[in-house]
Amino acid sequence: MASVNEKPFLEYILFSLYKSNIEEVVLSVHYLSNHIKDYFGNSYKGMKLKYTEESSPLGTGGAIKHSLSHLRKTDNILVMNGDSFVNCDLLQVIEEHKSSECPISMVVKKLPVSERYGTLEIQNNKIVSFKEKKPEKDCFINTGIYLISSRIFSNYNLPESFSFEKDFLQKEIPSLNINAIYTDSFFIDIGIPEDYKKAQTSLEPI
């Protein structure tokens, strides 16, 4: 709900989904969840909004797993972070995922230099390893957009609370066959003050 040009940052994400003709969105909420529910209600520009609430923090992985139980079974579930935004063509992302026939796809972006983010090693359009955060040039990063199957966790023994990135993607990478989908679109993560300030002028008003 962090304000960007007098709109919640989340609204920019929902607006991008609306433009991509997404019909149903599940929001995993915990901290200040009532603020989110009161502001958006049960729909946004005709999109149906559902909420899955964590009684205690589940981590990114636990939150996704909990949300999947509220969705119909499909191989094409779009997962997005709530504190980052990528101005990419989501319909194209979905089609690229479908054509890959992989159980999971990740949208990646090349940066001229990265200090803030961990980076990715990619071979033949597959993500083969995750690297720790350190200064690196001409590298690929995870933008926080995924396409997954609703059965993605079925064959893994996972705790109720876990990190999707560290405890699942990184740990289980040999068996996951993660497809890389490339974007050169605008990307911003408002997790630090400098980029939150940048968002005020970089995001187009909605």
Tell me, rounded to whole angstroms, the distance of Cα 46 from its chain centroid: 22
Longest Cα–Cα distance in the chain: 45
φ/ψ of 107, rounded to 5, equals: -80, 125
Which of 21-35, 79-93, 100-114, 175-189 comes out lowest in average pLDDT? Answer: 21-35
Task: Return the bridge partners of 1, or none.
Answer: none
Q: How many residues does the chain have?
A: 206
Range of the domain at 12: 3-202
User: Number of structural domains, the chain?
Assistant: 1
- What are 125-148's pLDDT values in tens digits? 999 999 988 888 999 999 999 999
The 8-class DSSP code of residue 166 comes to I
Q: Which of 150, 206, 141 is nearest to 180 (CA)?
A: 141
Q: What is the mean pLDDT of the chain?
A: 92
User: Whose structure tokens read 């955060």?
Assistant: 133
What's 179's domain CATH number? 3.90.550.10
pLDDT digits (tens, 9 = 90+) for 54-67: 888 899 999 999 99
**Secondary structure of residue 4 in the 3-state scheme:** strand
The tokens describing 55, both together, are 């009684």
Say yes or no to pLDDT of 31 above 80: no
| Structure tokens given for 168 | 């699942």
Residue 48 pairs in a beta bridge with 24, 43
Q: What is the pLDDT of residue 159?
A: 93
**Cα separation, 166 vs 155, whole angstroms:** 17
Q: For 2-27, what is the mean pLDDT? A: 94
pLDDT computed for residue 93 by the predictor = 95
Helical pair 33-40 and 9-19, crossing angle rounded to 10 deg = 50
Q: What is the pLDDT of residue 20?
A: 93
**Amino acid, single-letter form, for residue 168:** F
- So what's the pLDDT on residue 166? 93
The CA-to-CA distance between both ends of the chain, in Å, stands at 15
Helix (H) or strand (E) holding 15: helix 9-19
Look up the pTM and report it: 0.92
